[in-house]
Amino acid sequence: MHAFRFVRVRRHWICSSVVAAALILVACKPSSLIDVQSPSTVVDPSQVKTPTGATQLRNTAIATMMSSMGQGWNSVIVMSGTLTDELQDPYYIGRTGDDRNVLGTTGTDNRNAQGFGYGGFQNTRVVIRQALQALQQYVPDGTSGVPRAWQGELYALQGYTVTWLAELYCSGIPLSQSSLNGAQIPTRGLHTDELFNAAIALFDSAMVVGADSAQYVNLARVGKARALLNLGQFAAADSVIQNVPLDFVYFVRSNVSGNYGFDLATGDVPNGAQRVQDREGGNGLVWSTDPRTAVVTVPGLSGSMLWPSKYNIDPSTGQPDPTTPRYGVPVRLADGLEARLIQAEAALARGDASWLTTLNMLRATCVGTAACAPRFGITSAQLPPLNDPGAATRLDTLMKERAMWLYLTGHREGDLRRMAHVYNRNPNTLWPTGIMSEPAYPDLFPHIGTENGVRYGTDVVYGPDVNERARNPLYGGCYDTNP
């Protein structure tokens, strides 16, 4: 389906000696805190126990973070998008029936049996943890030109990987430990709330250790507030996020060129792997009419098919152009825009009318070339002020605004689960449901069958790799598969 991806380790049990001896590491300019360059150097094992080796392990960790977030069918952005109404994956639709069949045992490409992202996310978490340990052991005080704040950054990135596991997967995910110079320690599966609390502890550590860097402190603040929001702790989330400026942005980057970039729709429409449907399964939003999503049609190639082009924006015009590859596109992990959206939700939860004022401020401000704009090319005229819709639909209005501002950033699944778990909405009113009925889209993958007439499944979460049970003696499977 895709020309190139990072090689992912399917199993998250990773021997530290293997990591030290065999990782393909990436070079990074000393002046840059987050720019990741193409893989170019294999580090000699004897050099890992040095400031240079620790720095290169950090670079590898960030490159792996990019891979897990947005490069491939088993990345956070694609998994969140396809299980919800953001994206459709025609390859899996034709094999397993629909995007919401992810836990069953039917189909020739069962996503639960494959671990569908699980091994990659666990691998990313472990690699980040080992890079942090290398910095702590070999440059603990920020000597040799290595900022101590980098340790805070890695604590925060670990927190995001745990947050992903909590948002995407069933309750009961273990966080087994694999240290740089120590034994592997299995853990039992953690309930979803325990995962969010584990992430919060990592974000707290990030704010302490990374205190010298406002960038990393804000990265941790947004992550902690995101986890608190998912726990329904609105006041605490609001308190954490107050001082994050609107122009704050933390990008996860890949500067690799060639057949490599944000691997959602690589710009080559006939080979793109995902597509979009408005009002998918009755409950889905209308994505194609909102400028923030950059969903477009390309009639000459795909008829009425809607394409996700947010990461294929022409840098000179600001127009979505899915026919032109845009490699090395940065992806937002956290920003001041999300901080204000969290504040708006907290305000709504306490009955404060400022929720609407905040949303309208964003519509007037996060346009053009503003740092908070999710894509270049939006104008304020396209986003007129919202009116108060009344108490019955205020939450729907707010969540729709979140959906449009944060389209294809890996938030949608977590938001729908919060709607169900915290706000007690019926899952059948949130995820796509009913009988699949799509426009006459071209068949992107030959001989995989038709999806129209098939009933959507009922899965609302992913399951871990079925091999976790065999590898981890303390793992007992999902506690539940509820939102």
Residue range 117-173, pLDDT digits in tens: 898 999 999 999 999 999 999 988 877 789 999 999 999 999 999 999 999 999 999
> Which residue did the predictor score with more confidence, 398 or 19?
398
Q: What is the Cα–Cα distance from 44 to 48, expressed in whole angstroms? A: 7
Q: Which of 48-52, 132-136, 336-340, 460-464 has the highest mean pLDDT?
A: 336-340
DSSP character for 323? T
Q: What is the Cα–Cα distance from 397 to 395, expressed in whole angstroms? A: 5
The pLDDT confidence band at residue 321, using thresholds 50, 70 and 90, is: confident
Per cent of the chain over pLDDT 90 is 54
pLDDT, one tens digit per residue, over 343-354 is 999 999 999 999
pLDDT above 60 for 270: no
- Joined together, the tokens standing for residue 450 give 């038709």
The reported pLDDT for the residue numbered 470 is 81
The reported pLDDT for the residue numbered 354 is 98
The reported pLDDT for the residue numbered 46 is 57
Mean pLDDT taken over the chain: 81
> Which residue did the predictor score with more confidence, 267 or 426?
426
Could you tell me the CA-to-CA distances from 401 to 4, 226, 233, 285 in Å, in that order?
A: 34, 16, 20, 11
Give the mean model confidence (pLDDT) for residues 77-89. Answer: 89
Tell me the backbone φ, ψ of residue 199, rounded to 5 degrees: -65, -40
Q: What is the Cα–Cα distance from 78 to 83, expressed in whole angstroms? A: 9
Nearest in space to 182 (alpha carbons), one of 119, 130, 122:
130
Q: CATH 1.25.40.390: does it fit domain 26-250+267-304+411-483?
A: yes
Could you tell me the CA-to-CA distances from 348 to 351, 358, 396 in Å, in that order?
A: 5, 11, 11
Give the mean model confidence (pLDDT) for residues 33-56. Answer: 55
pLDDT above 90 for 302: no
Could you tell me the CA-to-CA distances from 388 to 203, 292, 342, 392, 448 in Å, in that order?
A: 35, 21, 18, 10, 46
Give the mean model confidence (pLDDT) for residues 178-205. Answer: 92
Give the mean model confidence (pLDDT) for residues 201-206. Answer: 98
The reported pLDDT for the residue numbered 98 is 61
The pLDDT confidence band at residue 6, using thresholds 50, 70 and 90, is: very low
- Relative orientation angle of helices 214-230 and 412-421, to the nearest 10 degrees: 40
The reported pLDDT for the residue numbered 154 is 97
The reported pLDDT for the residue numbered 288 is 93
Domains of the chain, by residue range, sit at 26-250+267-304+411-483
